[in-house]
Amino acid sequence: MASGLKIALIRGDGIGIDVADATIEVVNAACEIGGAPALSYDEINAGAGYYAETGHDIEPGGEERAGEADAIFLGAIGLPSIRHDDGTEISPHLRLRDRFSLYAGIRPIKAYPNAPQRLADPRAAQIDMVILRESTEGLFYSAAAHKRSEVIGDTEVRDTLRITRATTEKLHNFAFKLAQKRKERGKPGRVTCVDKANVFTSMAFFRKIFDEIKPNYPDIEANYNYVDAQALDLVRRPWDFDIMVMENMFGDILSDLGGGLVGGMGMAACAEIGDDNGLFQPAHGSAPDIMGQDKANPLAAILSGALMLDYLGERSGDSRYNDAAALIDASVDKGFAANALRPMEFGGDMGTLATTREVVGGLKG
């Protein structure tokens, strides 16, 4: 059984600090109530604010320490007023994805009772799906560690979209295995390959590998959708989807669309998994205009913390971390069902602290 697991904690910028603090409080309480060994935290300075002070986007040795931890938790990174000379954001988290090959970006999209539902159809209450975003290649390949864009004077810029067999095979296998896990929990157990294979050779290659992998999982239904049709279907019939696997940029865009369907980005949890490392963060931005004002919705971060505990349980073999994760998920479910969770993001009367206290209280059953 595991003991003494260490989390690399990067609070980052803006409300990243607020929601990271909320998540630590909830995760620690869930571990205590669930009987899981207490976690330790190694705080690492990183982000746009740190860059403005030091000229570095992460503290010296920070990347190495993050890689040595059992998991990485990140609040949010980026400030609109602080950019590189080329206008791009300060983004050390993209480099962490690249360095540790965090290829599987898990973006759950789930409707909760009494949370805003943007679609009038009553079936919108059944939305429970996952966007699986490849997180190291695709069009973001040009934006990660080495700034791979080709700048031709002041007249042209070329960004490279990269799809490799090695990473895509791992991604598709991950998608089918995730569908199997969800099927065991009563979910549909189907995977949709989202691409633009009718236009781009890279996307045809992505689909070709999907077709090679799917026969290994005969118990899982496999489907296809072009990305533009998928955007339409996420508005027209999102309840029909379970796991959608796709390229990096497509996943970046569609996961925000999905978040909007179930209330907003304050519900958008995220896990980024590689073969040896895992990074967990809310998918929203740093919202510096409300930083420190007790207005941020911490639920995306808290639900990302639950994903982290599940990951720790699977990697360590200590199911008490999985139990702690289940306590968090159940507390959020019960809180919304009882209308006891009313974040300001949704027009409610509960700020960051009150929302956090409610989730902690719900852990006790």
Q: List the domain range (segments joined by +) for residue 139.
A: 117-261
**If DSSP states are collapsed to H, E and C, what string results for 290-301?**
HCCCCCCCCHHH
Describe the strand order of the beta sheet including 71-76 as a list of residue ranges. 40-43, 6-12, 71-76, 278-280, 271-273, 104-110, 128-134, 243-246, 190-195, 221-226
Structural domains of the chain, count: 2
- Give dist(CA 6, CA 41) in Å, integer: 6
CA distance 202 to 224: 16
- 47 and 128 inside one domain: no
CATH code of residue 151: 3.40.718.10
Examine residue 275 and state whether it is found in any structural domain, yes or no.
Answer: yes
147 pLDDT tier (thresholds 50, 70, 90): low
Residue 173 one-letter amino acid: N
Quote the pLDDT of residue 144: 62
183 domain residue, yes or no: yes
Q: 216-236, pLDDT tens digit by residue?
A: 999 999 999 999 999 999 999
For residue 109, give the nearest of 127, 125, 126, 124 by alpha carbon.
Answer: 127
Q: Region 174-183: what's the mean pLDDT?
A: 97
Q: What is the pLDDT of residues 266-324, one digit of tens each?
A: 999 999 999 999 999 999 999 999 999 999 999 999 999 999 999 999 999 999 999 99
Structure tokens at 221: 């239904």
Q: What is the pTM of this model?
A: 0.93
How are beta strands 104-110 and 71-76 bridged, if at all?
A: unpaired
Mean pLDDT calculated for residue range 181-187 = 95
From residue 166, how far is each of 145, 163, 248 by CA, in Å?
A: 19, 9, 15
Residues 351, 308, single domain; the answer is yes
User: Is residue 343 domain-shared with residue 243, that is, in the same domain?
Assistant: no
Residue 333 belongs to a domain = yes
Q: What is the pLDDT at residue 157?
A: 86
Statement: residue 145 has pLDDT above 80: no
Same domain? 122 vs 163 = yes
CB atoms closer than 10 angstroms to residue 284:
25
Among 241, 261, 281, the domain boundary falls at: 261
Q: Is residue 110 part of a domain?
A: no
Q: What is the pLDDT of residues 38-93, one digit of tens each?
A: 999 999 999 999 999 999 999 999 999 999 999 999 999 999 999 888 788 888 99
Please report the pLDDT score of residue 1 as a whole number. 42
Q: What's the mean pLDDT when you consider all of the chain? A: 94
pLDDT at 287: 93
Asked if residue 199 and residue 121 are part of one domain, the reply reads yes
Which of the listed residues 199, 230, 261 is the one where a domain comes to its end? 261
H or E segment and range at residue 177: helix 165-184
